[in-house]
């Protein structure tokens, strides 16, 4: 298969590139060349900005295209225009945040999508990201043969966001650990390599439709932290701190406590319980979380990992919040 990957330099795109090469495909990547200067032998690299001239793609003749970096509707529109009337099989990587609402668990693919942001906007923010992805999906439907994948939180080696990585690192460090909410709070993540392998396989088969490409809908925060502790051979002393307390002290966002969905935002309570049954029926294979954590921790020791974002609480801020929480509850620190 001749495959074009829009992106391909980091994380999801890079994992797709790796999966496609492993399966013997001829791969071309198109990106700005800012994050990766070299590609494996045989990979064709086309340097370009999808917001600029796409003339280099007009004579492509690819069997399939996987678009990992479409964030604005005009970007998807211009790509499909450049590819012509027969772009081959087109995969658009969207997001579960494209749904109009995630308040309830079990969101399925036929649920309503978010309305476009009011007015024309090129600003991708936490507020506009999902609605813009929904608008991109509308453009993607112009492709005669297309698959729209809606991942949730994607994790694993190479993650530039650092959101899940923070917890693996923090647990490995041990000591007094502030954990948000309670151990039964839901969480849902998918390993980037599992997502990539499934997307490449679907492109091979020419699968069409819309699919939630998400991890298990049964994971909890308690299980996640326990898995990280088991892999790291660590024994952190966990204190569960509720959402309102964190919000009152300015620590309720993902920059401070990554991935926690505070109860003060009920519109997102189902974000970590999205229904992924349709993708599972079509071969989405999910590795055990412990394997993801082990490989992630190995990656954090590589020189390039330092360039990834590192959200989360500093040690001093975490200690300050834990002391305030215990004082408010009249509790003593946990025993070493």
- Per-residue pLDDT reduced to its tens digit, 166-212: 999 999 999 999 999 999 999 999 999 999 999 999 999 999 999 99
In this prediction, residue 252 carries a pLDDT of 87
What string of pLDDT tens digits covers the 336 residues of the chain?
999 999 988 999 999 999 999 999 999 999 988 777 678 888 999 988 898 889 889 877 899 999 999 999 999 999 999 998 888 999 999 999 999 999 999 999 999 999 988 776 788 988 899 999 999 999 999 999 999 999 999 999 999 999 999 999 999 999 999 999 999 999 999 999 999 999 999 999 999 999 999 999 999 999 999 999 999 999 999 999 999 999 999 998 999 999 999 877 788 899 999 999 999 999 999 999 999 999 999 999 998 787 788 999 999 999 999 999 999 887 666 666
The token pair at 14 is 């890079």
Question: Based on C-alpha coordinates, what's the Rg of the chain?
Answer: 21
The pLDDT score that the predictor gives to residue 196 is 98
Token pair recorded at residue 326 = 């215990």
CB 153, CB 189: distance < 8 Å: yes
Task: Output the pLDDT for position 35.
Answer: 75
d(CA 191, CA 219): 13
From CA 67, how far away is CA 93, in angstroms rounded? 6
Q: What is the pLDDT of residue 155?
A: 98
User: How far, in whole angstroms, is CA 29 from its chain's centroid?
Assistant: 20
Residues belonging to the chain: 336
Q: pLDDT value at position 203?
A: 98
Domains with residue ranges and CATH for the chain: 2-157+189-213 (3.40.50.720), 163-187+217-272+290-329 (no CATH)
How far is Cα 132 from Cα 143, in angstroms, rounded to an integer?
Answer: 18
pLDDT at site 333:
66
What confidence score (pLDDT) does residue 115 get?
A: 93
pLDDT of residue 332: 64
Three-state SS string over the chain comes to CEEEEECCCCHHHHHHHHHHHHCCCEEEEEECCCCCCCCCCCCEEEECCCCCCCHHHCCCCCCEEEECCCCCHHHHHHHHHHHCCCCCEEEEECCHHHECCCCCCCCCCCCCECCCCCCCCCCCCCCCHHHHHHHHHHHHCCCCCEEEEEECEEECCCCCCCHHHHHHHHHHHCCEEEEECCCCCECCEEEHHHHHHHHHHHHHHCCCEEEEECCCCCCEHHHHHHHHHHHHCCCCEEEEECHHHHHHCCCCCCCCCCCCCCCCCHHHCCCCCCCCHHHHHCCCCCCCHHHHHHHHHHHHCCHHHHHCCCCCCCHHHHHHHHHHHHHHHCCCCCCC
Specify which residues 262 forms β-bridges with. none
pTM for the complete prediction? 0.95
């Amino acid at each position: 298969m001749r495959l074009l990957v829009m992106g391909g330099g980091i994380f999801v795109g890079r994992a797709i590139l790796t999966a496609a090469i492993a399966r013997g495909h001829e791969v071309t990547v198109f990106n700005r060349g800012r994050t990766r200067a070299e590609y494996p032998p045989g990979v064709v690299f086309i340097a370009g900005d999808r917001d600029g001239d796409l003339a280099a793609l007009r004579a492509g003749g690819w069997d399939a295209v996987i678009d990992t970096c479409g964030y604005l509707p005009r970007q998807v529109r211009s790509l499909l225009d450049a590819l012509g009337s027969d772009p081959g099989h087109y995969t658009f990587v969207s997001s579960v945040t494209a749904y109009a609402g995630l308040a309830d668990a079990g969101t399925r693919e036929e649920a309503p999508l978010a309305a476009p942001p009011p007015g024309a906007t090129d600003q991708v923010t936490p507020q506009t990201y999902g609605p813009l992805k929904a608008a991109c999906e509308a453009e993607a439907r112009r492709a005669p043969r297309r698959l729209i994948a809606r991942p949730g939180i994607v994790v694993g080696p190479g993650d530039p966001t650092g959101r899940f990585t923070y917890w693996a690192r923090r647990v490995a460090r041990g000591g007094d650990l502030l954990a948000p909410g309670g151990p039964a709070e839901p969480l849902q993540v998918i390993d980037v390599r599992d997502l990539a392998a499934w997307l490449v396989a679907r492109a091979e088969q020419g699968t069409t439709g819309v699919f939630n490409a998400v991890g298990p809908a049964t994971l909890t925060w308690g299980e996640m932290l326990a898995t990280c502790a088991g892999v790291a051979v660590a024994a952190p002393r966990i204190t569960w701190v509720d959402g309102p307390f964190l919000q009152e002290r300015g620590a309720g966002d993902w920059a401070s406590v990554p991935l926690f969905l505070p109860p003060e935002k009920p519109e997102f309570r189902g974000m970590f319980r999205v229904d992924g049954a349709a993708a599972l029926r079509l071969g989405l294979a999910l590795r055990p979380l412990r394997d993801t954590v082990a490989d992630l921790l190995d990656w954090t020791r590589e020189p390039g990992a330092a360039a990834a974002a590192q959200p989360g609480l500093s040690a001093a801020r975490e200690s300050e919040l834990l002391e305030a929480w215990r004082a408010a509850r009249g509790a003593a620190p946990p025993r070493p």
